[in-house]
Amino acid sequence: MFNRPCNLDSVSNDYWVFRLARLPKDFSEKGKVLAIQLDGEFELSTQDKQSNPPHLSVWVDSLTTHEQAYNFLTENTPNSQRKLVLRLFVQEIREIVGCSGEGRTYNNILNVIWVFLYKYTDKQCIRDKRPGANGHSGITGLDEKSAPKELTTKQAKLLRKDLRSKLAEIASKNTSILKSGENV
């Protein structure tokens, strides 16, 4: 049986995580995904930024199927077009070296942590026990406050953009399409 760490603990380096993304407009024509088409898929939403800590939602693929993640996603966004599965290896995420534009590089900015899902009832908040909920996790280090303090606002913005581009580059090499008839 899987012995899961506590909420907000780091996910082990040997896991794969995935994120559901929108298919590029020309996907049906070209049949492939370029990294440049995925940059926006690694930007924090308003809700992501308000999370504590701010994180980009991903799922550990040994604990959550693509279809389960899609079903969680469509609870909040009913007509979601996020059917492109982007897979990333946790160790590779942590090893990304970012550049802020002035020639310096920065290590250890990104992390992957467990982020428990909760259900809210009239009187209490309880941990979500639905199938697939255990795999929810998040990539941290993409928000404004995660940049090294010595950077200017412009440099911090360039660093975040570089980190997102490198995530997109990694993800573009390992994609699949969520099948439309599989309990979606």
pLDDT tens figures, 101-155: 888 999 999 999 999 999 888 889 899 999 999 999 999 999 999 999 999 999 9
Query: Residues 6 or more apart from 88 whose CB is under 8 A from it?
Result: 16, 17, 18, 19, 58, 167, 170, 171, 174
pTM for the model stands at 0.90
Average pLDDT, the chain: 90
- Each domain of the chain, given as residue ranges in start order, spans 16-177
The single-letter DSSP state of residue 144 is: G
Cα–Cα dist 61/137, whole Å: 10
User: Which are the contacts of 115, defined by CB distance < 8 A and separation ≥ 6?
Assistant: 7, 8, 51, 55, 57, 136, 137, 138
**pLDDT tens, position by position, 11-65:** 999 999 999 999 888 887 777 888 999 989 999 999 899 999 999 999 999 999 9
DSSP 29: H
**Per-residue confidence (pLDDT) for residue 29, from 0 to 100:** 77
Q: What is the CA radius of gyration of the chain?
A: 17
Q: What is the pLDDT of residue 150?
A: 93
At residue 93 the predicted structure's pLDDT band, cuts being 50, 70 and 90, is very high
* Local confidence band at 181 (pLDDT 50, 70, 90 cut-offs): very low
Q: How far apart are the C-alpha atoms of 64 and 118, rounded to whole Å?
A: 16
CA distances from 182 to 22, 67, 70, 140, 177 (A): 18, 7, 10, 30, 11
Q: How far apart are CA 90 and CA 106, in angstroms?
A: 18
